[in-house]
Amino acid sequence: MNVAVIGTGYVGLVVGACLAETGNDVVCADVDAAKIEGLRQNRLPIYEPGLEPIVVRNQRGGRLQFTTDLGAAIERSDIVFIAVGTPQDEDGSADLQHVLDVARTIGRHMNGPKIVITKSTVPAGTAVRVRAEIAGQTKTAFHVCANPEFLKEGAAIEDFMKPDRVVVGVDSAEAAQVIGELYAPFVRTGNPIIFMDIASAEMTKYAANAMLATRISFMNQIARLCEAVGADVTLVRKGIGVDRRIGPAFLFPGPGYGGSCFPKDVQALIRTGEDRGVALGILKAVEEANEQQKRVLFEKLERHLDGKMRGAVVAVWGLAFKAETDDVRESPALVLVEALLRAGAKVRVHDPAALEAARRYLGEKVVYAAQAYDAVDGATALVIVTEWLEYRNPDFDRIKRLLTRPLIVDGRNLYDPDRMARLGFTYDSIGRRLVCASS
């Protein structure tokens, strides 16, 4: 099939590359000329495992092209995906400016019947507005559908190629058939394509992210209570996760959720409820709990240093909001670093992929370490924020020699407290007992 993907951000690039991988003729279009030129040279603007070889292979095979000519991309295609950003507006709602701009552009270049698919995360009712914007520019017949993405950063290729489900909101049986054929290679193992009305498809994306965010915030609060009563959140998590009604996913406590989806989507859903007179108190509590959780690591460190943060050197391992991505948007690590700096601490940071992305937020206020142990050398404490694999089994003897005091605050529960006690560390994790170097 001839496919255009408008927008080469995280979602658009993954969608375009994976559709090309299954034999479609795909052109990805974007107004950012520098980004497009980089993509033509196989320089990707994001870090995502497995994406680069797919882009390289399909460009070489002629199935994937990149262009700044949105009109030409639309005219040559039968299916057009809208995959531009929907940033958070000042009132918390999704800013649809870019989506509607693309809709108008599609309308102006509607040289034949097309299926227009919103892939961007948009609130219920957006497809109606997209349809109106296109119809205002053309008399040609077209379909508008909603196909929300459920891609996890760090595992997006696997998620797209082997999806749990494909959700599609359609306006006709004809559109459903075409989209079903487009996605058929990805659901051969039997995972479903779920067709529904468009508003329900738009809502499904927000509901899914809100549920996952709720599980994270719930477990983070249980972890805080575990610390207060002397329970171990790891055992509690196992105890509830085997219940089939609950399941084990998204029950790991941590420093709070971040990224481009959960914070924005929870707030957008709250705003949608307010606009429609529906109070979403649960989600407001989720958001508040998450903001509180982002301060937990700083509060732990402050207690260990008796409030004497000024002049302390703190090493921070992990800046991305999660492992296997360079995305630092809404990252708990940035909240921690800013709090440390305000308290007068000196901060050294390390991340395998996100140093440059973090530099755009933090500037030169911190020291960027090329190697993880460089950040630790001479530091008062080590704080772990992101669960990168290289942090899971480090050289603890080396860490102990490099630190001026054997203090580790672990926001991801990577290590066993008993082992850390035997090694002579003061080790403070999330929802588990504190062990001290003297114990």
**Residues that are catalytic:** 261
Q: Nearest 5 degrees, angle CA 413-CA 216-CA 282?
A: 150
112: how many CB neighbours lie within 10 A of its CB? Answer: 10
Picking from 246, 282, 251, 278, the residue whose alpha carbon sits closest to that of residue 266 is: 282
Contact 126, 98 (CB under 8 A): no
Is the separation of the CB atoms in 27 and 4 below 8 Å?
Answer: yes
Q: Which amino acid is at 46?
A: I
Look at residues 42, 103, 33, 92 and name the one whose alpha carbon lies nearest to residue 68. 33
Pairing assessment for the beta strands 114-118 and 142-146 based on DSSP bridges: parallel
Q: Taking CA 281 as the corner, what is the angle to CA 275 and CA 285, rounded to the nearest 5 degrees?
A: 125
Q: Is 254 left (phi over 0), alpha (psi -120 to 50) or beta?
A: beta
